[in-house]
């Protein structure tokens, strides 16, 4: 029975990958979700982030929410941490602007929790933006993911 389940995930992954290559936001999101959870393929957080961010950039609100969480290191299923506070807040705000209830609640809890730290957070985001302008602005490519996996040593 486990074999049948794994075969189904592998087959689903195959078809989602074909649709994702066509740039379909829902397929990109679902393909990334399977990669994140390791269904039909070994779990790969960076590859999942790459696909989910593509869906998010095409306006997929669940993709925006998950991308925000991934950049904020909220959910790492045995993968690597790719921390970026500015990108995390950017995608969470995009999802919130599309009335994603969990994104709205998450941002509200952050606002309440860090109320007195706003000046420090703003300064950190400016610093982070400066660093980003000196590095790659886009999510990692497939070849960059392999390089990042070798360089990163933070496992969850």
pLDDT tops 70 at residue 90: yes
Mean pLDDT, the chain, rounded, equals 77
Phi, psi of 73 (to 5 degrees): 60, 30
The domain that holds 37 is classified in CATH as 1.25.40.10
pLDDT tops 60 at residue 134: no
Q: Which domain holds residue 33?
A: 2-151
Whether residue 156 is contained in a domain is answered as no
User: Based on the structure, what is the number of domains in the chain?
Assistant: 1
The predicted structure's pLDDT at residue 56: 97
Helices (runs of H) and strands (runs of E) counted in the chain: 8, 0
Residue 33: how many CA atoms within 13 Å on its side-chain side? 16
- 42 versus 1: the higher-pLDDT residue is 42
Looking up tokens 């960076």, which residue turns up? 46
Q: What angle do CA 63, 65, 67 make, to 5 degrees?
A: 65
The predicted structure's pLDDT at residue 12: 86
Please state, in angstroms and rounded to a whole number, the distance separating the CA atoms of residues 79 and 9. 19
The predicted structure's pLDDT at residue 116: 64
The predicted structure's pLDDT at residue 50: 93
Whether residue 147 is contained in a domain is answered as yes
Neighbouring residues of 83: CB distance < 8 A, sequence distance ≥ 6:
71, 72, 73
């Amino acid at each position: 029975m486990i074999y049948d389940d794994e075969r189904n995930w592998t087959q689903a992954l195959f078809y989602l990958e074909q649709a994702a290559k066509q740039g379909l936001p829902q397929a990109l999101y679902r393909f990334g979700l399977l990669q994140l959870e390791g269904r039909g393929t070994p779990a790969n957080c960076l590859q999942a982030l790459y696909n989910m961010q593509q869906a998010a950039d095409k306006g997929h609100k669940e993709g925006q929410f998950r991308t925000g969480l991934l950049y904020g290191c909220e959910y790492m299923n045995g993968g690597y941490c790719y921390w970026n506070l500015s990108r995390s807040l950017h995608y969470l705000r995009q999802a919130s602007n599309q009335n994603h209830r969990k994104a709205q609640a998450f941002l509200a809890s952050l606002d309440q929790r860090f109320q007195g730290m706003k000046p420090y957070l703003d300064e950190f985001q400016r610093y982070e933006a400066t660093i980003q302008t000196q590095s790659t602005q886009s999510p990692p490519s497939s070849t960059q993911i392999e390089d990042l996996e070798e360089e990163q040593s933070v496992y969850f």
